[in-house]
């Protein structure tokens, strides 16, 4: 784990996240999201999770961001005020920021979470075989449930994307 690479990817991720939240243009925000995903995938590689880095790029950058861009193109630009600065939202944001700072502070002051840093040996997640073993033994039921969830999601999307009044006829 190279510290320079960590700094680089962390900076890239944080800058892109700020870009997502602060950008007025939705297309630019989606592009920033894409960059941030590349940064997170780089961090995954630093953590020896090569498969997950690959999947993140494939599923998120390849499918999700493209879907977002597709919907943005479909719905057209929305030229309105971008921020919702109601008192409730501002107070909520301030409270969330204060909680984050408190959590950071307590982690820095008495965080003894650190296991010793890995000693150069590749992580457990580096190889493909343990994943397959885990997915087909310990996590077999969750895998089945995930398959069912994907089926239900697909059916739900088909139902949702029909015309609401049901006038659409089969060809």
Partner 1 sequence: MITATLDHYLLLSAALFALGFLGVLLRRNALVIFMSLELMLVASTLALVAFSRFNRTLDGNVFVFFILTVAAAEVAVGLAIIVALFRQRHTLQVDELNALKH
> Segment 100-139, which members bind partner 1 (CB under 8 A)?
100, 103-104, 107-108, 111, 113-115, 117-118, 123-125, 130-131, 134-135, 138-139
Integer Cα distance of 57 and 36 in angstroms: 11
Integer Cα distance of 43 and 10 in angstroms: 7
Nearer to partner 1, 75 or 170 (CB): 75
**Any contact of residue 170 with partner 1 (CB under 8 A)?**
no
**Any contact of residue 62 with partner 1 (CB under 8 A)?**
no
Nearer to partner 1, 90 or 170 (CB): 90
Q: Interaction with partner 1 in 72-91: which residues (CB under 8 A)?
A: 72, 74-75, 78, 80-85, 89-90
Integer Cα distance of 103 and 156 in angstroms: 39
Nearer to partner 1, 149 or 170 (CB): 149
- Label residue 120 left, alpha or beta by phi (over 0 means left) and psi (-120 to 50 means alpha): left
CB of 124 to partner 1, least distance (A): 5
SS3 29: helix
Task: Annotate each residue in 16-45 with x if it binds partner 1 (CB under 8 A) or - if it does not, as one string.
Answer: -xx-xx-x--x--xx--x--xx--x--xx-
For 55-89, b/e burial (b = at least 16 CB within 10 A) is ebbeebbeeeeeebbeebeeeeeeeeeeeeeeeee
CB of 92 to partner 1, least distance (A): 5
């Amino acid at each position: 784990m190279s510290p320079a690479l960590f700094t680089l990817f962390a900076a890239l991720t944080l800058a892109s996240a700020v870009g997502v939240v602060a950008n007025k243009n939705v297309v630019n925000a989606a592009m920033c999201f894409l960059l941030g995903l590349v940064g997170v995938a780089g961090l995954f590689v630093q953590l020896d999770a090569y498969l997950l880095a690959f999947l993140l790029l494939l599923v998120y950058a390849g499918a999700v961001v493209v879907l977002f861009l597709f919907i943005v193109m479909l719905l057209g630009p929305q030229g309105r005020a971008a921020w919702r600065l109601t008192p409730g939202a501002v107070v909520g944001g301030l409270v969330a920021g204060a909680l984050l700072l408190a959590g950071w502070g307590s982690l820095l002051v008495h965080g003894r979470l650190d296991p010793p840093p890995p000693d150069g040996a590749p992580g457990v997640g580096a190889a493909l075989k343990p994943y397959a073993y885990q997915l087909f033994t310990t996590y077999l039921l969750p895998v089945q449930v995930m398959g069912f969830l994907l089926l239900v999601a697909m059916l739900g999307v088909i139902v949702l994307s029909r015309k609401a009044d049901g006038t659409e006829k089969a060809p």
